[in-house]
Structure 1
Amino acid sequence: MKQFFTYTLTLLLALVLLAPAADAQQFTKRKQYNSVGVTLTAMNYFGDITPKPSIPSLRFGATRPNLGVTFTHRFTPRISARAGLSYGRITGDDSKAADQNDPDAKYRYNRNMNFRNDIAELSAVAIFDLIPNRNNYIKRPDFVPYVFAGVAGYTGNPKGLNSSDNYVALQPLRTEGVEYNRGGIAIPFGLGARYKLNKSFDLGFEIGFRKTFNDYLDDVSTKYVSDPSQLASGDAFYFGWDITGGSGTGLDGTWNQNDQRGYQRGKDNEDDWYVQAGFTLNYILAPRVKSPKFR
């Protein structure tokens, strides 16, 4: 599955970057136009606190809303560039996501971790329309499927619900004895379709994946600390040691009722992803056409 996503991303980038140059020559500035949009999407994530610790596994009950604004410029009959700013939340809860009767999920059920992370994202993507528009915006096609890919910067703040039912920031606690960044670079890519409502408005539906280079969107990555004295506060001890009630599962699957030092806490070497799926309403800014001057 990981290779499938890699191949898909490579194909999308190729479609965007290798579009025929002739389109740009045939598409005059009079036909280029801008649009602004608002987005309402459902947001979820792939990571360690899901039913399965793999990319296609997510829990729909953990889905939360995401809001955003966009600005798009059409360059050619097929190619547009879009800048976007969005804000949304991802969540996870072992007690709801992991099946205690599944041998592969038992250590995650007993880990009993939970988190939420409010993510702000600034993105820039190239959009490749599968149906070209060689006319002006008024005569654009009624229905256009498209693919997109680009780059994004994001920042977040993973928090967990502690024993007092208060959310506390997890990154400063160093629950696995390491420091990590709360934000970074992501690669957004996906597909969607636009429908022409009238001369000025388009309604679109889009599914977009964000591949990050960070395994700590949920504050879970590798192993429990080898020495509990590394955990400097009560909350750090709760999330990084005692949240399972003083027991853990080793990498060999054996269950230790007394000690979890160095045992598996997350799945190594699997970066977290997040995904957005929902609607966009675009308003087209009619281009200003300069009238010829006569002397």
Structure 2
Amino acid sequence: MMKNKALLLAMLITTAMQVCAQRKSSFGNRYVNPFGVLSFTGGVGVAYYTGDLKDGVNMKHLGLGPSISIGALYRLSEHVSARGELRFYQVSGDQKYARNFQNNLSFRTFNPDINLGIQADLFAYNRQARVNPYLMAGAGFTLLNPKAKLDGKWHKLAPLTTEGVKYNRLPLVFTAGIGTSFKTSERLSLGVELCNNFVNSDYLDDASTVYPNPDQLPNDLARRLSDRSAEIGQEPRQPGWNRGSAKSKDSYLFLQMRATYLIGSRMQAQERKKTRCPKF
């Protein structure tokens, strides 16, 4: 009798596990409404600056800095998601490695920015592709905080108005890029992304137009950081001489390794509860 009961119990457990597995398999292959599916994102990589203190790619002196991002993806359709990110980046530039070395200007900046946009995947959400290339675009703001080193100390340049003008320190930024994600598990994807960020300002590096009249600058520190040619034995720059070029605005580029963790939607959570296996 005991053997029969044990055999019956084993058969019941096996049957329950098979049914559970079938239901899970059915759920995994079932169409899921993608709208509202939430994922958290993070990225780490390098940032690269282009602007008035750089006139081409110098492989020995790229001026790379770190870039970090955290954000989220909110699924709108099979191919499109809204995305938002808080990002931090550091870039630098030094004219000693450029054609206009005689101006001797340099800067470094560590800035935050916030960006909202869209991401368009090549393959549909319900296809669950292992590799999924995408395009992304967005807009946001960045806080400009350029600094320069003088006598062993870093000084904030924006308050010194080194060109005799007070510029907007919170300009618009327009972003465009490409990436690819690689699905490593049911919830986690890893990938790589390259994007360029176009600043609606030419003062990321604190250089844009011409040298001002030194008498119009607020103090001696501003005058020394406005014209640094004397530090390398050059003649002082005359007011009106080119200090930068306002014809093109500054930009910064990100190359990041990224991770995306799928949270899902409320409907998916409810479906998962229905397909849980019993604990034996």
Q: Which residue of 2 aligns with 1:238?
A: 224
User: Which one-letter code corresponds to 1:205 in the other structure?
Assistant: V
The yes-or-no answer on 1:94 pairing with 2:72 is no
Q: Which of 121, 125, 131 is the matching residue for 2:113?
A: 121
Q: Contact conserved, 1:157 with 1:182, CA < 8 A, in 2?
A: yes
For 1:89 and 1:76, the matched residues in 2 are separated by 34
Which one has a bigger Cα radius of gyration? 2
Q: Which residue of 1 aligns with 2:22?
A: none
Return the structure number with greater helix share: 2
Q: Contact conserved, 1:246 with 1:258, CA < 8 A, in 2?
A: no
For 1:30 and 1:224, the matched residues in 2 are separated by 55
Q: Which residue of 2 aligns with 1:83?
A: 84
User: Which one-letter code corresponds to 1:272 in the other structure?
Assistant: D
CA deviation profile, 1:163-190 (whole Å, cap 9, x unmatched): x121101011111111101221111111
Using structure 2 for the length normalisation, give the TM-score.
Answer: 0.79
For 2:142 and 2:237, the matched residues in 1 are separated by 36
The yes-or-no answer on 1:131 pairing with 2:132 is no
Q: Offset of 1:156 from its aligned partner? A: 2.4
For 2:172 and 2:237, the matched residues in 1 are separated by 36
For 1:31 and 1:38, the matched residues in 2 are separated by 21
Q: Secondary structure at the match of 1:61?
A: coil
Q: Which runs of 5+ in 1 are unaligned?
A: 1-26, 99-104, 249-255
User: Which one-letter code corresponds to 2:230 in the other structure?
Assistant: G
How many residue pairs get matched? Answer: 240
For 1:246 and 1:200, the matched residues in 2 are separated by 56
- Aligned ranges for residues 59-208 of structure 1 at < 5 Å? 61-95=62-96, 97-98=97-98, 105=99, 108-133=100-125, 135=126, 140-162=128-150, 164-208=151-195
Q: Which of 46, 49, 57 is the matching residue for 2:50?
A: 46
Change in 2 beyond 3 A, CA 1:236/1:180:
same
Q: Which residue of 2 aligns with 1:33?
A: 37
Q: Secondary structure at the match of 1:76?
A: coil
Q: Offset of 1:38 from its aligned partner? A: 1.3
For 1:183 and 1:146, the matched residues in 2 are separated by 29
More off after superposition, 68-77 vs 28-37: 28-37
Q: Offset of 1:247 from its aligned partner? A: 9.6
Q: Offset of 1:32 from its aligned partner? A: 4.7
User: Which one-letter code corresponds to 2:121 in the other structure?
Assistant: D
Q: Displaced runs of 4+ in structure 1, greater than 4 A?
A: 57-60
User: Which one-letter code corresponds to 1:74 in the other structure?
Assistant: R
CA deviation profile, 1:98-132 (whole Å, cap 9, x unmatched): 1xxxxxx2xx2011111011111111110111222
Q: Which residue of 1 aligns with 2:257?
A: 279
Change in 2 beyond 3 A, CA 1:228/1:31:
closer
For 1:272 and 1:259, the matched residues in 2 are separated by 23
Change in 2 beyond 3 A, CA 1:247/1:69:
closer
Q: Contact conserved, 2:34 with 2:75, CA < 8 A, in 1?
A: no
For 1:58 and 1:196, the matched residues in 2 are separated by 36
For 2:198 and 2:58, the matched residues in 1 are separated by 15
Q: Offset of 1:140 from its aligned partner? A: 1.1
Kindly report the root-mean-square deviation, in angstroms, between the aligned alpha carbons of the 2 structures.
Answer: 2.4
User: Which one-letter code corresponds to 2:217 in the other structure?
Assistant: L
For 1:62 and 1:247, the matched residues in 2 are separated by 21
Name the % identity. Answer: 27
For 1:81 and 1:167, the matched residues in 2 are separated by 39
Q: Contact conserved, 2:34 with 2:77, CA < 8 A, in 1?
A: no
Q: Contact conserved, 1:247 with 1:257, CA < 8 A, in 2?
A: no
Change in 2 beyond 3 A, CA 1:237/1:198:
same
